[in-house]
Structure 1
Amino acid sequence: MLLALLAAFAANEVWRSLGVVLSARLREDSALFAWVRMVATALVAGLVAKLVLSPTGAFGQAPLWLRLAAVGCGVAAYAAGRRSMALGVGVSAAALIAGMAWLGP
């Protein structure tokens, strides 16, 4: 067990150290960095769209209009809160929970 933990730590630490060394050379305004940021944003947008439009499990019990309203509340809070991701996600989750509680079982 201890050997497995040490091996896993060593394998991850190599990549973390390499990332630290290579990141010193990156410029935030470079074209590569802008591309990576756009791809990451597109992946998050796709994930949110999938969760809202075709949810599974208990999340699927919420009607589409409520899921869309919760996303709208989250986006508004994100914009009003100086682009705070935590605030946007928190408000969106609170809106969905409140809406489900209001609708009842």
Structure 2
Amino acid sequence: MTTWETTIAPLWPYLVLILVGFLPSEIWRALGVVVSRGLDERSEIIVWVRAVATTLLAAVVMKLLLTPSGALAAAPLLARLGAVLVGIGVYFLARRSVIAGVIAGELILISVTYFAFA
């Protein structure tokens, strides 16, 4: 076997992921940072962009919640709804800590789904 077959060939999916998935997104993020550098945080355009981003995120969460695919589809609807509600509650109780809300929601979803099928 050549060096290519043993070391580099198994890594080609990761290279494709970086080239097609990460780099195009990262270029736009960097450009956004450069362009928004002098903008006021309370300007109308920034408030609008933040509102659109929040709306898109909420839509993705609702799509995953109501029409899941893959392993998430095995979780009962009430488990998914409960996990979201617990995550939101912990987010506010932990002084708007996103990581605390996400971890709490995931723990609830995993626990309820595990016990539903155990």
Tell me which interval the TM-score lies in, with the shorter structure as reference length.
0.7 to 0.9
Equivalence for 1:68: 81
Matched, 1:83 2:96: yes
Equivalence for 1:24: 37
Equivalence for 2:49: 36
Equivalence for 2:117: 104
2:64 to 45, 51, 55: 51
State the number of aligned residues.
95
In the TM superposition, what are the counterparts of 1:1-16 in structure 2 within 5 Å?
16=30
TM-score, normalised by the number of residues in structure 2: 0.71
Matches of 2:28 and 2:56 in 1, distance apart? Answer: 26
How far 1:87 moved relative to its partner? 1.0
SS at match of 1:39: helix
Shift in CA distance, 72/21, structure 1 to aligned 2, threshold 3 Å: closer
2:105 to 69, 79, 92: 92
